[in-house]
Structure 1
């Protein structure tokens, strides 16, 4: 196996803990090892452990209680159904919960595809907030959130500091909008020179690109998300019931 195909450490930790839960080593109702214990056993950093535990909680494998620790719930039905939605994850997770830096925060002309997702004319001026996400000190993805100008006004999206809450919570509290659903599209393309440099990608490796159109209950576009994932470090999984 080449080094490029090895999953990030947080993903490996998620898989290891899931296997232990499924095997019964961590039985439902039992207390999960502490962050320090997991760091020592798996020789990983605290941000890696925190990221893995957040994913397990979001997917329903574990729960946490203030002052009491984390408890095993067991294998949830369709565990990957909610946790495998990249667009949703980046909208609901606080920016301070992940490593990363703001690489762009500006008013820009909307590219054709993003304009279509936002329901505006191409080249319409919109606000762009772009983050370079890292895991274990290595860049792993680029997340861009595109917001109509009127929705970005009076918010902290222009700040160079990471938000202590998810973009969804921030916009809903500041602007009074209500996110209802996300329509995701997945495609692939080769990275630009700048993208390949930012992500440290070797030549010949494509990007998986996830586009998410965020809408309210009436179907009105509110924001759009673009997630760039190097194909040699990520895989997308889905699960759904058979009716």
Structure 2
């Protein structure tokens, strides 16, 4: 037997499908909906979380719940060909906002960057939007012991490529980059930033870049909503290596 919140989710879903609320519309306030269905606010929120997990609505903190616009599935392509790292590309227009600040490394950053807890680190936070909907969250970290960098001039890449350009300009050369992609549930802060529920899976990438001495010069944590995202990696061999293999 279905729970009460599941019946409410079914009814709310029907209203969205038939066009009672159109894409971009704000749903009635949670208190109003709870009164309409004669349930408690927690029960109503359980129903809303079902629709959030399905990608039908998004919660904008401080503003309410909105019907999500039909967004196309986005492919994030991180291409490395012939030893040259190219700028990441997407198949849809995305605007990127970047903020930066100095933070002290906690336990997680200490392990990621290979620095002592409490070491000063520059944190860059890139949030990509498709229209009004946030689609990506990237946090890039550079230890002060490596370089003291400014703010990237152009915030075009959801991967934070502008930080790489700043490192290069400061004379820091990346020799190796290791990337690990996992599927998991978002943290509360990640869910709030991406306007999703903590029950909605995300694709999480951890990227660590080192120089020729194997010192970590940059660490990155990228989070993408799992319902509309693909990550595409393309690699190629240098021509001379192909010749040697023949």
Q: TM-score, normalization: structure 1?
A: 0.54
Equivalent-residue separation in structure 2 for 1:7 and 1:231 (angstroms): 15
User: Which structure has the highest strand share of the two?
Assistant: 2
172 and 106 in structure 1: CA distance in 2 versus 1, 3 angstrom threshold: same
Q: Larger Cα Rg: Structure 1 or Structure 2?
A: 2
Unaligned runs of at least 5 residues, structure 1? 15-50, 60-81
Preserved contact between residue 126 and residue 147 of structure 1 (Cα < 8 Å): yes
Q: How many residues align?
A: 164
Equivalent-residue separation in structure 2 for 1:209 and 1:106 (angstroms): 22
Query: 1:80-119, aligned counterparts within 5 Å?
Result: 82=80, 92=87, 98-102=94-98, 104-119=99-114
Query: 1:122-161, aligned counterparts within 5 Å?
Result: 122-153=117-148, 155-157=149-151
What's the CA shift for 1:10? Answer: 6.9
Q: Could you report, residue by residue, the CA deviation over 1:116-148 in whole angstroms, capped at 9, with x for unpaired residues?
A: 221112332211010111123321110111011
Equivalent-residue separation in structure 1 for 2:73 and 2:230 (angstroms): 14
Preserved contact between residue 177 and residue 207 of structure 2 (Cα < 8 Å): yes
User: Which structure has the highest helix share of the two?
Assistant: 1
Q: TM-score, normalization: structure 2?
A: 0.54
Q: Could you report, residue by residue, the CA deviation over 1:199-230 in whole angstroms, capped at 9, with x for unpaired residues?
A: 11135112221111111123221110110112
Match of 2:155 among 154, 159, 162: 162
Structure 2 equivalent of residue 180 of structure 1: 175
Equivalent-residue separation in structure 2 for 1:145 and 1:167 (angstroms): 8
